[in-house]
A and B are shown apart, each in its own frame.
Chain A
């Protein structure tokens, strides 16, 4: 059952990570309220924040950063495939509206 035991973060580090996540969430909420000032940057910033939180949870809490690369590739593969396929579907529907309406 014991694989090569990769280094685990300590509980203290986990709490620090959680604090960072909390701060990122707080920034997201602030951005929502200051949309009029931040303007067109709001959405991209929100997406960056969401992606950062995503990566932090996957990398540290789900331990993917310390795992075997095989498992990393599965997850990355699924993500890339999903992004690719759904981007095409959304683009197609958007362009169809453009061409046919």
Chain B
């Protein structure tokens, strides 16, 4: 090819940062493990905020005709609760796992584009902070001529148009003030973050696998990460445009979704749900993946029907693109569409059912070890099935017309998102805790967390099924005494407090065990996949020698043979294998090159919130600042040298 062109010295204006300790090492990190940890902690913080919002909502609804919150404040609370939980809790908690685990599960050093990975994180955190800054800077005005023209307290100055921003309710006419602009622009920034992640993960899974790690030997969690990345990649552009259009409507006088100007409010719903439905599969598939790892480990049996689970996952993702208008059955869409989408929604239950039967088949006849991860995994199956069953009832259009906008729907999605996704995530948090921190969590506290959460969760969301069928409407800040809904609403509110206690127990367990917990061995669960073949806590270089894979569940096959009846028989050399793996893992013999840290993802990401503020406050100065940061970030990134951090001596580890 061309002769060697050396990069000129003066292009290397910025030396790559090199700190390994302290806050700068976190700000400039491109290490997937550190990024994963940052996602995890920040997401958990938002979980507490979102939970607080839920608590406040439930206090208001504990008794009829309550006046703890005004209607305006109530609207803001449920909007922020939903937006927070979806975009700032479940997605980033899943991202924490994708980031930490993906390279480990495929035997790689890091992801395909490490700086892009850091960019995703900083974009996300800046987006979340931008969204929440609405409480400080934002304002939610009362709509002209509306009856909510009362004082909007501090709690009310936040996005209040629902997490789905239906038009024209969330338009400037009916939602004046800046709050819904914070919502639209905040979501826009968050969308870019996830989109960038998606490219990274797709490319990583395709191109960074270790030798012998064929696609059909990858762990199920990796496969689900793959499916989620496709869902993100193809659905986020749609909502990005929708958010641009609504920002134009609110800020620049267009009428895309406003009938006065010939616009179409239902178009908003189409565009939102074209993203929104794949989004819910984005929320659940990671948990599916985690549970598919945990069940086999704690049943001492291979996953039943690996190929079926993988294909079902992709089936769900694919069909998931074809069901979006089931969120619009009551919205003046044509009857043809209702019929079509009703059918496709029923169809999607099939691959989901396949997975459930396969999980049951995995546990069946296994030697169950009921540690906390397994409890949450089993709880996941039970809760998700309940949520899935209520979901199928929504697919019947006439029935849905009664259910829609009632608490029956609220029950459904909390069963699948909390009982499903969150339980799955808790299972994963306990399962991989020893790998990440090198310590073991306290099992008794874990069990207490699980049972309290199960009880609290079902107390909270179980009654919502019949409250909904009895007619309690969603998104409404009071219900009248005459409706006789007070008793069960009080039960629901008590349930939320039980959940809160269980979360406090989890936090205590986490914080204590991380500091003072007993040291965890490399392979505490006798697991099956290769992330368990490296020392705990994970060394910064991951694998000291690139692994060579020969089987699905490669690690298991190195420890166990099968007897004539297919039962696992531990190999004699298994214990020695563990000792060798650990000592090799801590002592890399070869020269290892890791991608260097960089300031520029942080700098580039910081530009976007300024652009957001610039649009809201029509400030050229802020726009200039935002663009400047983007340019500095972009140029620095493009021009910084690609030195690689070298691991020579092990002591630095």
What residues of chain A have their CB less than 8 Å away from a CB belonging to chain B? 1-2, 70, 78, 81, 84-85, 88-89, 92-93, 95-96, 98-100
Contact = CB atoms under 8 A, between A and B. Distances in A.
Contacts of B264: 93
Size bracket, chain B contacts: 10 to 19
A93 to B, nearest CB: 7
Interface string B231-268: 00010001000000000000000000000000010110
A27 B332 CA distance: 43
A2 B238 CA distance: 36
B274 A85 contact: yes
Contacts of B334: 92, 95-96, 98-100
A92 B325 contact: yes
Contacts of B325: 92
Contacts of B206: 70
Contacts of A2: 1
B235 to A, nearest CB: 10
Contact of B337 (A70, A81, A84, A92): A92
B274 A89 contact: yes
B492 to A, nearest CB: 36
Rank and list the top 9 A-B pairs by shortest CB-CB distance, nearest first.
Answer: A95-B334, A96-B334, A92-B337, A99-B334, A89-B270, A95-B336, A92-B333, A92-B334, A96-B333
Interface in B295-335: 321-322, 325, 332-335
A98 B334 CA distance: 8
Interface in B372-429: none
A99 B334 CA distance: 6
Dominant secondary structure of chain A at its interface with chain B = helix
A1 B4 CA distance: 14
Nearest to B267: A93
B337 A95 contact: yes
20 contacts: A1-B1, A70-B206, A81-B321, A85-B238, A88-B337, A89-B274, A92-B325, A92-B333, A92-B334, A92-B336, A93-B264, A95-B334, A95-B337, A96-B332, A96-B333, A96-B334, A98-B334, A99-B334, A100-B332, A100-B334
A89 B264 CA distance: 12
A96 B270 CA distance: 13
Nearest to B324: A85
A8 B324 CA distance: 43
A92 B325 CA distance: 10
A93 B266 contact: yes
Interface string B206-222: 10000000000000000
Contacts of B274: 85, 89
Contacts of B332: 96, 100
Interface in B1-50: 1
B270 A92 contact: yes
Nearest to B264: A93
Contacts of A92: 270, 325, 333-334, 336-337
